[in-house]
Every structure is written in C-alpha cells, then in structure tokens.
Chain A
Amino acid sequence: MLVTLINFMAYPAAAHPHVWVTTVTRFIVAKGAVTGIRVEWAFDEFYSSSLIEDYTDHHDVKFDAKDVAALKKGAFQRTAGQNYFTFIKVDGKLLTDLIPSEFNATVVKGIVHYQFLLPLRAPVDPRRHPLTVTYYEESYYVDVTPEAAHIEGDGSLVCKTTIAEDPNTTIYFGMVKPMMVTLHC
C-alpha cells in the first residue's frame, strides 16, 4: 500500500526519456517458421557519445573486440532483467529467459549500434501462432521505438510487418503505450 502510494507520488519526477533508441527487427525464417529474431539498436548521438567516451580509447572512435566485450558486460547485459527491452509474445504470452547471442557493437557516423540475436527455443509458425515484438524500457528513462522490420531467411514464408501501439501494455503510469511489431503471414 505504501509502495503504491510512493509509486503514485513519484510520478511527478518519474523518468522522462533522456535516451532515445530506435530498433530494426529481423524475423529469421526457416522452413515455414520463425527461428529467431535479430534486433538492432541505434542510440541517439548524445548517449552514443557517452558510450564512446567510456568504452573506447580516446583517439579511436570504434569498438574493438575488447570494447565490445566490455560494452556487452557493462551496458547491455544488465538489461536482461528487462528482457533486453524486447518483449516477444507468441499467442499473446510473453517468451521469457531468451538468451541473446552474436552481440556486436559498432559506431557509424557517431551513432552507436548494437546487434544481437534472440533465438527462439522452438520454431514458431506465425500463421498458426500470432507473433508480436513490443519494445520498451519500463521506467521510461529510455525511449525504445521500432523503426523498421524485415523478414529474412530462406524465403519459405511471405509475410508483412506492421508497427503500432501495443494495446495491452502501458508504461509510465498509464501514460504511454509502447510500440509493437506484428507479423502478418
């Protein structure tokens, strides 16, 4: 009860986005089913600059293998508690405990990009089991917005993607419905 009150009162100072992330979503398709989702994040230039400051040698604006490992540990792995801001739902149910692989970080014209793959534990046929991906950071200090979505793989599925507000999720004290990518096959 007290916690709810504190939550409510904290609204006046609750996090207002200060870091802006856009995502590209790639559904990996093999033999008529989705086997994994490849996610790419692009940070805004200000936050990118702070990552570059902290994780590269000063005269070298790119991430070498050592930097990528440090980034993964210090500025990516900790989002595990929030599903890496990537909430994949099959039949409306959230998939939990997905382990990202193939993490990489690059700098392109001052913008830091992360890439990682979230393999599904079992392939999902989206024609029979609706598949959606919602992006958000729960305190809304980080705004995570999907910008584009693609299908990749062996071409065994012909699908469209749409990006719209997730009607079933709200953050920021009911004020914001995060954006969701839906696969239509």
Chain B
Amino acid sequence: MIKLVMHRMTSFGVLSILLWPALVLADPLRGDVPGSKSTGSVPLWVPDIIRHLMRELIDIQRVMIGDLQHAIGLVRNGGSVRAALMVVGIGLIYGIVHAIGPGHGKIVVASYLGSRQARFAHALRISWVMSALQAGSAIALISVLYFVLHLGGRALLADGALFETVSFGLIGLFGLVVAWRAAWGRKGCGHGSICGHDHEHNHGDVVPRGEILMGSVAVGLRPCTGSLLILLFTFANGLPWLGIAATLAMAAGSAVTVALVGIGAVGTRLVVVRVAGDGPLALWLGRAVAVAAGGVIAVTGFTMLAASLMLGPMG
C-alpha cells in the first residue's frame, strides 16, 4: 500500500516536471485560451429538455454561490454560529448539485464499478476517498500558496490547473492498470492455479483495495476550482477555518452524488449478471467488460489530458 502511494507520488513528480512547459493559465480573463477552439464549434444536437435542465442546474448554482457569499459576509461581520452553519449547509448542497455537472470522477467510478464484482460498499468507499482527496488537495494547495508563499489568485488558479492536468494523466494510467490487471489476472494467480477462492470467479474483475486508492488519487488530485476560489476568499478575509469547513462540506456533497452514480453502476451490473447467468461465455464477457472499462477510463483520461494541453485547463 505504501509502495503504491510512493509509486504514485513519483509518477506525479515526473509528470509535473514534464508538463510544466505546457501549463496554461486557467482563467480566460487573464490569459489566452490556446487553440481558440470554441466549445460551440462542435455542433452536437442537444434536445431542448436537456438544455433546459442544464440551464436550471447552472441557475441553481449561481443562486447558491450568491447565498454562500452572503452567508460568509454575515460571518465576517457578526461572527454568528448560525451564519457559519448556513455556510456549511449551503456548501453541502452546492457540492451535491455541482457534482451532477461534468467532472468529479463519475465516468471513472461508473466504468470501474460497473464492470467488476463490486459491492455497494465499494461505491461508498471510492466516492468518499475521492472527494476527501479533492478537498484535501484544494486545502493543501491554498494553504501552501497563501501562507507559505504569499501568492495570490493568479498563481493559485495556475497551479490548480497544473494539478488538473496531472490528474488527467493519472486517470489515463489508472485505466491502463485496470485493463491490464483485468486481462492478465492477479500475479501468481493464473487461470488454473489455486488462488484460495472459487474457480468460477473471474480473477481479473475483483476490487482490490489498492485500485480503489489508485483511482481515488488519480481523480482526487484535481482540486475543484470552486473550492479554490472560496478558500482564497475566506483566507483573504481572515476566515480560513470557514473556508476549510465549506470545502469539506462541498466534498461531502460531491461524495453523495458520486456515490449515487457508483451505486447505480453496481446495481446495473447485478441486474445484468443475473440475466446473463454463470456459463463460460458469461464469465468471459465479464472479463472482457472489465478490460473494456479500463480502456474507457484510459481513453477518457488521456483525451482529457490532450484536451487540457491543447485547449487550456477546464474548470
């Protein structure tokens, strides 16, 4: 386990050195978004109902951010506990709603859990570890930049963008590892040897603890830009603990949404497995799906990496 974490950190270090020259500021107001590829230039037909839902989602977040700012202002001016609790409460709900939008590891979680013998407990575990790491990386980043280096908003968003780019690369690598393990089975546990569990199982599609951590680190490394801005605001106003509390609340909310996606994936798989049965073809299919899921995650990670290097980081 420790070796795994150390391995990950070494990869992070190497990747960040390699990717530094490609770093672009995350902020269209302060830096050019390279490649000027407008998101509107891909003419996807989107049904009106989806458009309306998306607008609702955005409007809800806009209102919540306003409420959050108002509540933080109340704390700053009067310091009441009630206002602080309001901040945390709004943060929690904002986290739930915000995670419905793109990002936050839903593809990774759904692909991974939906393709192997995962239990509902795995869905809960992966989502809370991932969200805790996302909160942790935002808090660590701000604390270091603000207190140790006394840097301001611009540097913060730029470094957040670096973490994000690295995270995409790690997601890609995670996908490769998952696919590899699903294809070749666990070490020393080839098909036909005695592994200490029933031969009917597909060796490649269990859920090792190490993979949960690996996936969580890959996704969680990317701090949510929303948290970064809120943390910067509260730190600048002398309310660091409030910012940290709000970030943790947002992470908890985000974990709820991601967990629901994960539970949905596990449940879907259970239904499919029940229908498909136990024969050798079903087992082979199960392994193939497990490999394919790793492939999906790898492709997602690497194309997001390529996009982030070409288009500029995305919030």
Contact = CB atoms under 8 A, between A and B. Distances in A.
What band does the interface of chain A fall in when counting residues whose beta carbon is under 8 Å from B? 35 or more
The B interface is mostly helix, strand or loop, or mixed, namely helix
B41 interface: yes
A52 B152 CA distance: 10
B307 A51 contact: no
A11 B152 contact: no
A45 B74 CA distance: 13
B107 interface: yes
Interface in A35-59: 44-47, 49-54
Contacts of B55: 176
A143 B58 CA distance: 9
B10 to A, nearest CB: 25
Which of A17, A47, A142, A175 has the most chain B CB within a 10 Å cutoff?
Answer: A175
B303 A138 contact: no
Contact of A75 (B29, B168, B308): B29
B201 interface: no
Contacts of A9: 299-300, 303-304, 307
Contacts of B152: 50, 53-54
Nearest to B229: A46
A139 B33 contact: yes
A75 B62 CA distance: 22
B66 to A, nearest CB: 7
Nearest to A76: B29
B229 A50 contact: yes
Contacts of A46: 65, 69, 229-230, 232-233
Contact of B29 (A3, A78, A172): A78
Given A7-B42, A53-B153, A174-B46, A13 B236 contact: no
B311 A143 contact: no
A97 to B, nearest CB: 16
Given A138-B40, A175-B50, A177-B51, A12 B107 contact: yes
Interface in A15-30: 15-20
A44 B65 contact: yes
B102 to A, nearest CB: 5
A110 B50 CA distance: 35
Nearest to A16: B101
A101 interface: no
A103 interface: no
Nearest to A21: B29
A54 B154 CA distance: 7
Nearest to B47: A174
B28 A172 contact: no
B32 A81 contact: yes
Nearest to B53: A175
A13 B107 CA distance: 10
Contacts of A49: 153, 232-233, 236-237
B289 interface: no
Contact of A172 (B39, B154, B156, B229): B39
Given A49-B236, A176-B51, A15 B44 contact: no
B87 to A, nearest CB: 13
A78 B38 contact: no
23 contacts: A7-B311, A10-B314, A11-B102, A12-B103, A15-B315, A16-B101, A18-B315, A20-B62, A20-B65, A46-B230, A50-B232, A50-B233, A53-B152, A78-B29, A82-B28, A138-B28, A138-B40, A170-B40, A171-B38, A173-B46, A174-B51, A175-B51, A176-B55
Interface of A: 3-20, 44-47, 49-54, 74-76, 78-79, 81-82, 110, 137-143, 169-177
